[in-house]
Structure 1
Amino acid sequence: MAILITRPQPDADATAARLRARGLQVLLAPVLRFEALALPQEAEEDCDAVIVTSANALRAIKPQLVDSRLTRRPLFAVGGHTAEAAREAGFTKVFSAEGDAVRLRDLLLARVQAKALKKSSVLLYLAGADLSRDLAGELGERGFTVVTQTTYRMVPVAKLPRETCEAFVANAIEAVLHYSRRGARAFLDAARAEGVEISALAIPHGCISEAVAAVLREAGATQVMVAAAPDENALFETLRRALRSGLA
């Protein structure tokens, strides 16, 4: 029995390695394809800080950040994974909210209260083409000027890998892991197109957040697990408790 990982590359490989190290069999079926978009040269001008809610936003423009003035600005990341991607991209002043977009917003407001950041600051938001929350609007209502730059988009794949379809038919998949609402929808669409939707909905689904879980429940999944916190460690812990095989 295998755990199916639906997140895009290169994160899918990292997740697979962590699960295999815990003695679990893994199948990869990235349902979104990463496409980088160039960052305009003028984007690094006239901003006081950078905010990021996805490591992919940094990976997309990493080559452009070499010797860029932008890396000298403080960067506020949604969590540890994104913060690490920021450091790898060359940022030296990195602050992590260790949570979700709400905690990132609250972290910025706390920095204002501590007089470490001006309320009138111009924030450069490096983002994906599809956003689940209007973080820029929320920060704008609190006095910040937010300039959003789209640095990547995730394109849904049309089909699941043949190996994955065969595993569903053979009842050889023990659970599916989901990391975004868009990814969950893409998985359901691909499963439907391949004729394995009924099998796919009948097994446990581990979700990084309640928002992601809602997509699976609306589609008819009844065994939906939600991580206690929006990070992979919490998702793995949820999986460990739910599956007979367990995680070490």
Structure 2
Amino acid sequence: MRLLVTRPEADAGKLMAALAGNGHEAVLAPLMEIDFHDAAELPVRDWQAILVTSANGARALAARGEAAALKAVPVFAVGHASAEAARAAGFSHVRSADGDVEALADLVSAELSPDAGPLLHVAGSVTAGDLQVMLGVKGFEVVRAVLYEARPVRFLPDVAHAALEARDVDGVLLYSPRTARLFMTLVHEAGLDGALAGVEAFCLSGAVAADAAGRDGEGALFRRVHVAERPEQPALIELVNKTALAARDDLT
């Protein structure tokens, strides 16, 4: 399959390689640009744990000089990619919730105590879910440090525009509701709504799929909207592989 990868460039490398290794042609068309907030305040506290809800959060923290003093603090990551980024940054005690923000809140609640100290949530300027609320109702103190911003591109990337216009794309991978909404908006603004009729949408979660399908769930422009069995990259790649195999079987 020929697939549009909408992830930021820093996040797309392993995904592109994995898709190519499974026989797909991956076309990088990032919809977000990542800017680290180097001057943002990083509070100094006796942290019980660090909460990471994206790989970029882990990278933004690792880029700070203060991170050296935090490497022994346990890290609770939302999923595999963010956990891997934390380990690569030198954090020695990393646990993955292997899910979404709610799964992370559940893991933290099960393994930590509100009385053992505050939690540092390393985040972007826009987040999915509110850990402060989810954990606050259970008695945890969560301090959010905004260390990066994912800025949406203003126009559909040229490579995506050309592929859609030529009807030369089989699918698009969408990782977040925000990215799904942005993709649909940019496609519409480019006058390419009709080009999605032959495109499969591969979504990391049901929340992503809801935004890919449209506000009312009835105005889907894609050929089909698929949801990974688990909100993690390997499951999304597995979904792409199964869909491609099914398409080949239909042709034989």
Question: CA 1:119–1:31 in structure 2 vs 1: closer, same or farther (change >3 Å)?
Answer: same
In the alignment, which residue of structure 2 is the partner of 1:75?
75
Measure, in 2, the Cα distance between the counterparts of 1:63 and 1:102: 27
In the alignment, which residue of structure 1 is the partner of 2:44?
44
Range moving further from structure 2, 39-48 or 4-13 = 39-48
Q: Which string of whole-angstrom CA distances, capped at 9 and with x for unpartnered residues, describes residues 200-221 of structure 1?
A: 3542100000000001111523
Q: Structure 1: which amino acid aligns with 2:196?
A: A
In the alignment, which residue of structure 2 is the partner of 1:229?
230
Checking the alignment, whether the CA contact within 8 Å between 1:120 and 1:144 is kept in structure 2 is no
Checking the alignment, whether the CA contact within 8 Å between 2:114 and 2:139 is kept in structure 1 is no
> Per-residue deviation at 1:65?
4.5
Checking the alignment, whether the CA contact within 8 Å between 2:193 and 2:221 is kept in structure 1 is no
Q: Do residues 196 (structure 1) and 197 (structure 2) align? A: no
Q: Which string of whole-angstrom CA distances, capped at 9 and with x for unpartnered residues, describes residues 155-195 of structure 1?
A: 11122232322221221100111011111112122212222
In the alignment, which residue of structure 2 is the partner of 1:135?
131
Question: CA 1:145–1:203 in structure 2 vs 1: closer, same or farther (change >3 Å)?
Answer: same
In the alignment, which residue of structure 1 is the partner of 2:159?
163
Count, aligned residues: 242
Secondary structure at the counterpart of residue 10 of structure 1: helix
Q: How does 1:113-192 map to 2 (within 5 A)?
A: 117-192=113-188
- TM-score, normalization: structure 2? 0.88
In the alignment, which residue of structure 2 is the partner of 1:58?
58
Secondary structure at the counterpart of residue 106 of structure 1: helix
Secondary structure at the counterpart of residue 50 of structure 1: strand
Range moving further from structure 2, 197-206 or 83-92 = 197-206
Measure, in 1, the Cα distance between the counterparts of 2:118 and 2:197: 45
- What's the C-alpha RMSD, in Å, of the aligned pairs? 2.0
In the alignment, which residue of structure 2 is the partner of 1:210?
206
Q: Structure 2: which amino acid aligns with 1:24?
A: H
> Per-residue deviation at 1:150?
0.8
Measure, in 2, the Cα distance between the counterparts of 1:203 and 1:40: 40
Question: CA 1:146–1:201 in structure 2 vs 1: closer, same or farther (change >3 Å)?
Answer: farther
Question: CA 1:42–1:171 in structure 2 vs 1: closer, same or farther (change >3 Å)?
Answer: closer
Q: Structure 2: which amino acid aligns with 1:36?
A: F
Q: Structure 1: which amino acid aligns with 2:163?
A: A
Q: Structure 1: which amino acid aligns with 2:227?
A: V
Measure, in 2, the Cα distance between the counterparts of 1:44 and 1:57: 17
In structure 1, runs of 5+ residues without a counterpart are: none
In the alignment, which residue of structure 2 is the partner of 1:28?
28
Measure, in 2, the Cα distance between the counterparts of 1:67 and 1:227: 34
Measure, in 2, the Cα distance between the counterparts of 1:192 and 1:40: 35
Checking the alignment, whether the CA contact within 8 Å between 1:7 and 1:29 is kept in structure 2 is yes
- Percent identity of paired positions between Structure 1 and Structure 2: 36
> Per-residue deviation at 1:229?
0.4
Q: How does 1:92-131 map to 2 (within 5 A)?
A: 92-112=92-112, 117-131=113-127
Q: Do residues 88 (structure 1) and 88 (structure 2) align? A: yes
Question: CA 1:71–1:24 in structure 2 vs 1: closer, same or farther (change >3 Å)?
Answer: same
Measure, in 1, the Cα distance between the counterparts of 2:41 and 2:204: 34
In structure 2, runs of 5+ residues without a counterpart are: none
- TM-score, normalization: structure 1? 0.90
Checking the alignment, whether the CA contact within 8 Å between 1:4 and 1:28 is kept in structure 2 is yes
Q: Structure 1: which amino acid aligns with 2:14?
A: A
Q: Structure 1: which amino acid aligns with 2:239?
A: T
In the alignment, which residue of structure 2 is the partner of 1:17?
17
> Per-residue deviation at 1:15?
1.1
